[in-house]
Amino acid sequence: MTLPPRAEAPETPDPPDAVGEAPGVRVSPSTAAPLRRRLAVLAAMERPVIIGFAAALGVLGALVLGSALGSISTILAYIALALFLALGLDPIVRMLERRRIPRGAAIGIVFGVFCLLVVALLVFVLPPVVAQVGEFVAYIPEALADLRGSEWFTGLAPDVQAALLTAAEQLRAIVSAPQTLAMLGGGVLAAVVGLVGFVTASFIVVALTLYFLASLGAMKGALYSLAPARNRPTLRDMTERITASVGSALLGSVTLSAFNAATVFVLHLLIGLPFPALMAAVAFVITLVPLFGSVIFLVLGSIVALFSSPLQALIFAVAYLVYIQLESYVISPRVMNRAVSIPAALVLIGALVGGTLMGVLGVLLALPVMASLLLIIHELVVPKQDLKV
């Protein structure tokens, strides 16, 4: 007897192995976890309360972090200044090391000379500058009165006269502002508080600078160890080039500004212009702005000299213009030989941004920061983009 063929059971889809798998579709273990995360994110996005709470937590965290950074902004400024001072002094230490002087002894020599220069500035430069600020404020009203009655001023066009008087009034307002007077000793309490704060900040910066200068090699080694082994040679090369460029830029900027200040001081003494120490200090600060600082001071110094005599102002303008040419073609190429060349527009933008954020310190740090960014873009970003066809 022949039995009828048994009917085969219909195929049923495999049961889902994990959350999110469609019936009949098998998901490999390597893709199951990302799929679960996507589904969890999609499920969370359907709950606006959770999204709003997470956004509120993010905003609150940002506000707390911003408040914390604002409260320690002064300490961060001390650390940044000390680090850049260490990078600026490091080229001199390396030069002494190349002359077979041990690094410890080289650091002691460089740091000792640096401290002596700071003390000399505080003892011999700061007092006459502060005294001449007061003399300059008292001199401006008399100079304005003499200016209005002078023959050469009355012979100018009315628009030129108005422009000169407006510039002189603005200069007087800036110099005689309460903030300036308080900073320079307008009040006994303000002067004492400012002096104590300045001395405290100086000790902190000096101590941090000495520590950074002594442990610069160890700090670089720690930075290299954070990168994967295959990337450490590139990181080491980039770091060495950036620190060398930053150190050369800082040392070069300060050196050029010192040359400018010395030139202005000598010119004022030779020509017989008043306030030589004050104008030299102003020249040092203004010429920290690369490329444009000397031109700015040429205009400012000539205007101030104009109150004494048109002839003296003309002599000063011509002599200082000659120095600017000498600095541009002879001194600057030798002083800034290891610094990265930066386009003039970026130099001006960096100086404006740095001055707005951190004042004179920001202007001083703008050039090395811009040089570092350009070096990173040129050495890392551009080669990667060139490989993309």
Q: What is the mean pLDDT of residues 353-369?
A: 74
Q: What is the mean pLDDT of residues 331-340?
A: 70
Query: For residue 270, what pLDDT band results from cuts at 50, 70 and 90?
Result: very high
The domains of the chain are located at 50-137+189-226, 230-384
* pLDDT of residue 335 exceeding 80: no
* pLDDT of residue 48 exceeding 70: no
Average pLDDT, the chain: 76
Rounded CA separation 133/70 (Å): 32
Rounded CA separation 311/346 (Å): 37
Residue whose token pair is 């000792």? 112
* pLDDT of residue 302 exceeding 60: yes
Rounded CA separation 20/31 (Å): 11
For 249, the token pair is 């830029």
> Are the CB atoms for 171 and 140 separated by under 8 Å?
yes
Query: Could you tell me which residue, 207 or 169, shows the higher pLDDT?
Result: 207
Question: What are the helix and strand counts (H, E) for the chain?
Answer: 18, 0
Percent of the chain at pLDDT exceeding 90: 10
Q: For 101-135, how does the pLDDT look when each residue is reduced to its tens digit (9 = 90+)?
A: 888 888 888 888 888 887 888 788 888 888 887 78
For 44, the token pair is 């969370």
Query: For residue 250, what pLDDT band results from cuts at 50, 70 and 90?
Result: confident
Cβ-Cβ contacts under 8 Å for 274 (sequence gap 6 or more): 135, 139, 268, 308
Of the listed ranges 105-119, 175-189, 290-304, 370-384, the one predicted with least confidence: 175-189
Rounded CA separation 211/107 (Å): 10
Q: What is the mean pLDDT of residues 326-339?
A: 77
Rounded CA separation 384/54 (Å): 36
For 374, the token pair is 């350009």
- Reduce the DSSP state of residue 368 to 3 states and report it: helix
Q: What is the mean pLDDT of residues 241-261?
A: 83
Of the listed ranges 75-89, 119-133, 270-284, 359-373, the one predicted with least confidence: 359-373
In the chain, % helix, strand, coil (3-state, to 5) comes to 80, 0, 20
Q: Which amino acid is at 386?
A: D
Handedness of CA 116, 119, 123, 126 (dihedral sign): positive
Rounded CA separation 243/86 (Å): 10
Residue whose token pair is 């405290």? 200
pLDDT of residue 338: 57
For 298, the token pair is 């040429």
Q: For 192-203, how does the pLDDT look when each residue is reduced to its tens digit (9 = 90+)?
A: 455 556 667 777
Burial-class residue 84 by CB neighbours within 10 Å (0-12, 13-18, 19+). buried
Rounded CA separation 251/334 (Å): 12
* Cα separations in angstroms, 327 against 77, 255, 312, 344, 348: 31, 11, 22, 16, 19
Angle between helices 216-225 and 188-214 (to 10 degrees): 60
pLDDT of residue 315: 94
pLDDT of residue 35: 67
DSSP annotation of 157: -
Q: What is the mean pLDDT of residues 127-147?
A: 76
